[in-house]
């Protein structure tokens, strides 16, 4: 695994040098353009994934780090399900399954619609962004509505509705691309 890491800081790296590790828009990890198929290694890298103040991603282990290229956002939401019930027995929250194999409660206040109508939200204690896969999008869409008078999209979970921000830039400052 030491081959992935370098003691050279990111500022010392050549600006033209591409990272050897990449996460594509579907959440698939690659090393030198070869798909990383060992789930335990990908999960280990996810646990050590960090984003610096310039918006660059890297894997940090102790005093070593490895820059990575993230094509869109680092996490992809694979599925959405009703998982949290309120006192009245109605769904009060939703659980999302992420590309790192973890599950967490969806924070509906962070959902936004990006370019090409792709949905995004914040995950991992609001530290990272995630993109909804097509399957997760359709699962969530069962709870989405449109108010034509205000031209506003919203999601209803339990007895609460949450407005969806439209075409917001991603955490790197650019539009969410499809």
Mean pLDDT along residues 38-43? 95
Q: What pLDDT does residue 23 have? A: 97
pLDDT at 109: 94
Q: What is the pLDDT of residue 11?
A: 41
Percent of the chain with pLDDT over 70: 79
CB 111 within 8 A of CB 121: yes
pLDDT tens-digit profile of 150-172? 989 999 888 889 999 887 656 55
Q: Which residues contact 105 (CB under 8 A, 6 or more apart)?
A: 83, 84, 93, 94, 95, 96
Q: For the chain, percent helix, then strand, then coil, each to nearest 5?
A: 15, 45, 45
Confidence band of 4 (pLDDT split at 50, 70, 90): low
Q: How far apart, in whole angstroms, are the C-alpha atoms of residue 168 and residue 16? A: 29
Nearest-angstrom CA–CA distance, 167 and 117: 8
pLDDT value of position 2: 46
β-bridge mates for residue 144, sequence order: 155
Q: 23-58 b/e with 16+ CB inside 10 Å = b?
A: beeebebbbeeeeeeeeeebeebbeebebeeeeebb
Instruction: Enter the tokens of residue 36.
Output: 């990383």
Higher pLDDT, 38 or 89: 38
Q: Is the pTM of this model over 0.75?
A: yes
């Amino acid at each position: 695994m030491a081959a992935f890491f370098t003691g050279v800081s990111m500022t010392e790296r050549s600006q033209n040098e591409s990272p050897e590790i990449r996460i594509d828009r579907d959440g698939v990890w690659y090393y030198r353009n070869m798909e990383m198929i060992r789930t335990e290694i990908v999960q280990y890298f996810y646990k050590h994934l960090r984003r610096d103040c310039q918006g660059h991603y890297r894997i940090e282990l102790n005093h070593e780090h490895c820059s990575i290229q993230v094509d869109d956002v680092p996490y992809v939401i694979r599925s959405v399900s009703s998982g949290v019930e309120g006192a009245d027995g109605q769904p009060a929250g939703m659980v999302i399954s992420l590309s790192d194999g973890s599950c967490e409660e969806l924070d509906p206040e962070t959902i936004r619609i990006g370019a090409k109508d792709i949905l995004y939200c914040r995950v991992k204690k609001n530290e990272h962004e995630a993109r909804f896969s097509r399957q997760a999008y359709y699962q969530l869409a069962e709870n989405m509505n449109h108010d034509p008078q205000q031209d506003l999209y919203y999601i209803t979970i339990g007895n609460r509705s949450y407005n969806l921000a439209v075409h917001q830039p991603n955490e790197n400052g650019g539009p969410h691309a499809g």
